[in-house]
Amino acid sequence: MELFLASKDCLSALANISTIAACLVAIVALWQVYTTQRSTRESQRVELFLKFNQLNIDQGITSTSQSDHWYNNSKFAITESLFEIAPRSGSWRSTVRWMLEWQRDFIREGGFEVKSYSKKFREYCKDNNYELMLNKAVEATPLRPISEGNVI
């Protein structure tokens, strides 16, 4: 009977140790997922920043009125994307502010479909004196339902 009780205590202790080990493995796995996601986001931020800089270079080489519009539109979309994937990073927020400064003239021209940008990004722009202004043509033209032939 003593052997049975001893083996029962031993099995109980082994079960407890196994549970603790499984928890530790789960914690390590979650930590790896977190660090991988962080690394991926950082890579995305750097890629967007490099793309922004490349667009500035390209725009200087092939500048026309129409191409400038699309370059500026692309750069602004990159700026918002960088803002969205770096929500709590002070250094990247400084970079976004710098990017907005580079786009000051484009922003002040207006002509944005303001609601297409996130509320937080619009507030950030406004807080940094780059309030997005509506495109007057979009503001004056109500959207028609698809049933009225509003299909591209």
Strands (E), 12-128: none
Q: Label residue 94 by pLDDT band (50, 70, 90).
A: very high
Torsion of CA 38, 116, 104, 84, to 10 degrees: -10
Q: What is the rounded CA–CA span in Å between residue 4 and residue 1?
A: 5
Mean pLDDT across the stretch 36-65? 76
Res 19 pLDDT > 80: yes
pLDDT for position 6: 56
